[in-house]
Chains A and B, each alone.
Chain A
Amino acid sequence: MDFMVACAFFMVTIIFLTMIIFNYLAPLKSQSESSEFASEIYRIEGILTKSMLSYYDRYKGEIFEGLLDESKIENLYYSNYSEIKNKIGIKDDFRISISPAITNWHFPNFKYRKMIVVNVSNVNVSVCISFPRGHAHADSLRLVNFSGNLIPFELKNSTYWDDNKTWLKTCTLEFSTGDGRYLFLYYNGSATHPANSTLNLSVSNASVVVGIEERYLSFGVYGAKYSGKEKAVDERLITLRESPRIAYISGSNIEYSILNELGYKVDFYTDKNISDLVDNIFLFDAVIVGSEAGRNLVINSNLSRKEVLDYVNLGGSLLIFGQNIGGYGWMRNFGIVEWNVSGLNQTVHNFSLKILRSPNDLGLVYPSNDSIYLSSSYGNSSYTFYSVPKVINRTLYRKIDKITVNRTRINESLIKNGDFDSNADFWDFTNTSPYIEGDWELPGHIYVDLSTSNREGEGIWVQTFEYTNTTLINEANLSFCYNVSVWNSPGSSNILSVNLTLPNGTDAKIWEESIASTTGGWICITKDVSKEFSEIGNYKIKLISHLSTSNAPSEVKVQWDNISLNVSYNPTIWLEGNIGEGKVSITGDEPTYSRHKKLIENMVEWGLPKKSIYTYKMVVEVW
């Protein structure tokens, strides 16, 4: 029997050892923590992909889930881990890695490729391929079949991003497919030995499809160093939008700061290194000339170089912030001349320049004390510019509602009868309980009163107003005063708040305060609500008194007065137009002077091309 017991003991030991070795007992521990880890992982993934790293589409005014902004990823990788961990709000350690979701990358030294699919094999085909700016050096192309074997090809009809014919924009490839139907075209930003040759193929009319551009660039690992503890891992596919490459030529630190605040990654140039920029200008998606920078003699001289004109003619974007163009001689290369106006009122009509188009009323008198830039015919070309004032509605980037070159701030009051001098006209009162009263009273204010014990509800004063201004506002200050004149309700919950109901129906909470006693007099509050005015339509201001009373005798009374909502704006003008394949945009209103973030954003967004989107794999580990 002792032997049997010993055998049983031995068997149990073996079984348990086996279970340990093969991790059968792991759930005993890991499952208790798995739900916690899983929620942490999903939280990190959610924050990264839905807000922290996500790409914000300024035209559509929305964030796309799972589409990340490359510049935000780069910023994350330079950020302090502890700060990011606090920002995300997790207690466990984590790390992420972001790497391209690619397979069978045949040439690790090449950064880009496109897949080419032909509908049949063993045919000679011709296919037109386009390349983003600065991606394909003309001597870098390599064509391979699915197995990575080089395929000879002939390059025809090439167009370039630069006058030196270095950077390919489009080309036609002629080649013989061989046995396969799937091929890859690799290319890179640096020159290698040219691989194209003369084949003189007789091409068939086979159907060819060119795929999206894939990129071989990993972001590595970010986060804590793995400590060997138990961990959870999850893997997600994401897409990321390549950062546009923007150069800013010094003019104003404020403009440069605004560009950074808006999330643009910008290379900064001064008169010390402007020649480097002009030498490599073809690599930039947009070049911004800061306010007054164009008057600097060194900058002016460099911007006069042929490369700048070629850059625009071949598809670049030149965005000019400035005024008083006396020193901007280089702009004449583009056929742009100043139109100086003086005096407070100018009639914009009957001139030969093609700048203004419907629906601008050329017969109107426009108040002005500023200069703007206009285009004129240049040689045999006719450049057409048109004017677009800054507008608030996202969809109105191209819509012209108003034109003015007035730099005088315009102020407008949106609330009617906010001082309640003799009545509460234009205001409506609603309540959620019949015990809550609201009315106007002397010496001139409105009130909300709850004087019945053990009751609760809201008394709301509302005014609806219409906002129709299509010019972006600089400031919108909402002011109001309140006075808790009676408070005898210990232990009850009393909250005052002010909301704005936007035209789309959503409520924006502007202010909220809990009250637990009388205020001993009027308290006045001012809030900047400019960010709420991003659309035109009917708004509502709501003065909300959430009142409750305790056992008798109990009463709460709140008074409201001096409600105002004043908006101010500096109308501006910016001109945009096409020269050759490129774009030029000019504003005569200095963003520096008026600190118009929206003006800068509008101009830059208009000038930027659509950037490539790549699919990546994001691995998140938590322990």
Chain B
Amino acid sequence: MVDRHGFIYVYEAIIASVVLLIFSAALFQLVPFQSTSHPINLKNEGYDVVRCLDYEGTLDIAIYSGKWDFLKIRMEQLLPEYVGYKLTIYNESDVIASLSRGNKSGDVVVINYLKASNSNYSSILLCMEVWHE
């Protein structure tokens, strides 16, 4: 047999402990949080890479020379390893190159980047799909 008062005290102790533990957990957890894998961040990561490739001049060199492996190496230096991508490059009528890393999974964010024509080449559209691996 169990003492009835004993039950009450045990339950009270359990409830109090749970409350105490939750409070402690909420109070003392100090782990910093990283920006999450939210699609907004994914879009920023993808867009930042394309924009940097353009501004620093790599995109110009790749388009002008047609050496797409050169672009792929540089892109994979800049993109975090946990981000997969597929980059399709169009001229005014056709796909002229397609580069990729990993297999699509989860949220896939699409970034379109239009590179205006200049004296060396006509307009180029970059369609980049990115996802977290």
Q: Which residues of A contact B (CB under 8 A)?
A: 1-2, 5-6, 8-9, 12-13, 16-17, 19-20, 23, 25-26, 28-30, 34, 38, 41, 64-67, 101-103, 115, 117, 119, 182, 207, 209-212, 228-239, 613-615, 623
B101 at interface by CB-CB < 8 Å: no
> Smallest CB–CB gap between A118 and chain B, Å?
10
A-B contact count (CB 8 A): 130
Contact of A25 among B22, B41, B74 (CB under 8 A): B22
Cβ contact within 8 Å between B10 and A115: no
Cβ contact within 8 Å between B70 and A228: no
> Smallest CB–CB gap between B9 and chain A, Å?
10
Instruction: Chain B residues near A233: list those with CB within 8 A.
Output: 32-35
Most buried by B among A9, A230, A615, A623: A615
A5 and B10 alpha carbons, distance in the complex (Å): 7
With A66-B55, A615-B56 already in contact, 20 other A-B pairs whose C-beta atoms are closer than 8 Å? A16-B21, A17-B21, A28-B26, A30-B33, A101-B77, A115-B73, A117-B67, A209-B65, A209-B67, A230-B32, A232-B32, A232-B33, A234-B41, A237-B52, A238-B48, A239-B51, A239-B55, A613-B55, A614-B56, A623-B32
Closest 5 CB pairs of A and B: A25-B25, A237-B48, A16-B21, A239-B55, A615-B52
> Smallest CB–CB gap between A413 and chain B, Å?
42
> Smallest CB–CB gap between B21 and chain A, Å?
4
Cβ contact within 8 Å between B25 and A20: yes
> Smallest CB–CB gap between B119 and chain A, Å?
15
Cβ contact within 8 Å between B67 and A613: no
Instruction: Chain A residues near B120: list those with CB within 8 A.
Output: none
B18 at interface by CB-CB < 8 Å: yes
The closest CB in chain A to the CB of B25 belongs to: A25
Instruction: Chain B residues near A234: list those with CB within 8 A.
Output: 35, 41
Given A101-B78, A237-B48, A615-B52, are A182 and B73 neighbors across the interface (CB < 8 Å)? Answer: yes
B14 at interface by CB-CB < 8 Å: yes
> Smallest CB–CB gap between B34 and chain A, Å?
6
Q: Which residues of B contact A (CB under 8 A)?
A: 2, 6-7, 10, 13-14, 17-18, 21-22, 24-35, 41, 44-45, 48-49, 51-52, 55-58, 61, 65, 67, 69-70, 73-74, 77-78
Given A12-B17, A211-B61, are A2 and B22 neighbors across the interface (CB < 8 Å)? Answer: no
Instruction: Chain B residues near A101: list those with CB within 8 A.
Output: 52, 77-78
Contact of B73 among A66, A117, A231 (CB under 8 A): A117
Cβ contact within 8 Å between B26 and A9: no
Cβ contact within 8 Å between A13 and B26: no
The closest CB in chain A to the CB of B9 belongs to: A5
Instruction: Chain B residues near A615: list those with CB within 8 A.
Output: 52, 55-56, 78
A38 and B56 alpha carbons, distance in the complex (Å): 28
> Smallest CB–CB gap between B13 and chain A, Å?
7
Cβ contact within 8 Å between A613 and B56: yes
Instruction: Chain B residues near A41: list those with CB within 8 A.
Output: 35
22 A-B Cβ contacts within 8 A?
Answer: A5-B7, A8-B14, A9-B13, A13-B17, A17-B21, A23-B29, A25-B26, A26-B31, A26-B33, A30-B31, A66-B48, A66-B51, A102-B77, A103-B77, A115-B73, A119-B67, A209-B70, A229-B30, A230-B33, A232-B32, A234-B35, A234-B41
